[in-house]
Chain A
Amino acid sequence: MRYTYLWLMQLVTGVLIAVLLGIHMVIQHLEDILRFLGFNLNDPASWQSMMERSREVIWAGIYIALLAVVLYHALNGLRNVILELTPSARTERAITWTIVAFGVIVFAWASYVPIALLSR
């Protein structure tokens, strides 16, 4: 039962990533095409543009949401790939807990940054 939910979450986070990361990719990389369509962003990777975005709550929200779904999807996928090499049951539990701990730590740190930058 539990494994069914883990797999379903993989699907759901996959769809959410396709949307959120799609927005991220389009904003970061498809600048010329967006300019052609009428949206003018000034060099998204520059300090100026990035600080403007980091002051808006909605962008911080999008980035934190993207981080959460990406971390779940990627780490669950990594866990599945490693488990296919069939380690022993004890190693399996160790790997699961390592991955969960890693995910929690990375999420905590990397979501602190956009929140801290909101006020700067």
Chain B
Amino acid sequence: MHKEKAEPITFRVQRYNPENGGKPHFQEFIVPSSKGMTVLDGLIYIKENLDSTIAFRTSCRMAICGSCGMLINNYPHLACHTQIEEFHSNRLTIKPLPNFPIIKDLVVDLAPFFEIHKSIKPYILRDDLEEMENPSTEYAQSHRALESFLQFTYCIKCGICVSACPTSASDKQFHGPQALAQCYRYCADGRDDGEPDRFPVVGTDHGVWHCHLAGACSESCPKGVDPALAIQLLKRRMVSRTLRLGKKEPPASTLPPPVESKPKLPFPEFTVKEG
């Protein structure tokens, strides 16, 4: 087996320790990198071998949990999903995600982000409260109806779109592309009845109308969720409701109980007998 040459890469990481006071500053580390190594692998190498006080979030290391969002060479990426090789440079600058408050080093405070997500009621709302609280059976939804919003359900709540958005950079009351896209995901879901609850929350000056289609959110989304498309479809939906154009589809109904049911198979006998 031939040993791959380890190329030393300089990681320039923004450090900030609130307990010592002081301001954010950069610290450089030399990390031996090899082909296929991700930025997260580099950070873990730093933590294990060079400086164990460096703080960053990581969990699944496979781009599904959304923990490791950070600004790498001035563009937001998931660290576990980004190869060191793709920058074609031996110098990487790593900073925490902008537009979120920094707790320490590369760890940002996502609590306000989740609060805003909660404020748009990210769950199915039905007029029939009894059915909603104690569901008797599942709702019927055709495959085509599912595909009209399925793309937006893949959001992993990593916060990268909010970092990329130019409006989120200055407008502290803006909901952010993630919350607005999830608002559309629930409003477009055929099973949901909750438009009158959600529209007053997002249909404000600092809500959906401050999105000006810069498209940076969709461009930087690591899961291809395309929040920009969701927000424009949400605007379209709000305009057609306000102007009372188009027909509002009735929400998906519950399936009728089956008339003829197949005979249940008997539960097989245990092979290990008692006694």
Contact = CB atoms under 8 A, between A and B. Distances in A.
B224 interface: no
B169 to A, nearest CB: 9
Contacts of A105: none
Interface string B191-214: 000000000000111110110000
A2 to B, nearest CB: 9
A8 B239 contact: yes
Contacts of A86: 170-173, 206
B261 interface: no
Interface stretch (A24-32, A42-50, A66-74, A77-85): A77-85
B171 A3 contact: no
Given A1-B203, A1-B242, A7 B170 contact: no
A80 to B, nearest CB: 7
Interface in B201-238: 203-207, 209-210, 235, 238
- Size range of the chain A interface in the assembly: 10 to 19
B167 interface: yes
A11 to B, nearest CB: 9
Interface residues of B, number: 18
Interface string A83-120: 11110000000000000000000000000000000000
Contacts of A85: 170-171
A83 B206 contact: yes
Dominant secondary structure at the B interface:
loop
B173 A4 contact: no
Contacts of A6: 209
A6 B173 CA distance: 19
Given A80-B210, A84-B210, A5 B171 contact: no
Nearest to B241: A4
Nearest to B200: A1
Contacts of B205: 3, 80, 83
Contacts of B172: 86
Given A8-B239, A80-B210, A3 B204 contact: yes
Contacts of B207: 3
Nearest to B167: A84
Given A8-B239, A80-B210, A84-B210, A3 B170 contact: no
Contacts of A1: 203, 242
A68 B167 CA distance: 28
Contacts of B242: 1, 4-5, 8
Interface of B: 167, 170-174, 203-207, 209-210, 235, 238-239, 242-243
Interface of A: 1, 3-8, 80, 83-86
The 10 closest A-B pairs by CB, nearest first: A4-B242, A84-B171, A86-B172, A7-B209, A84-B170, A3-B205, A86-B171, A3-B209, A85-B170, A4-B238
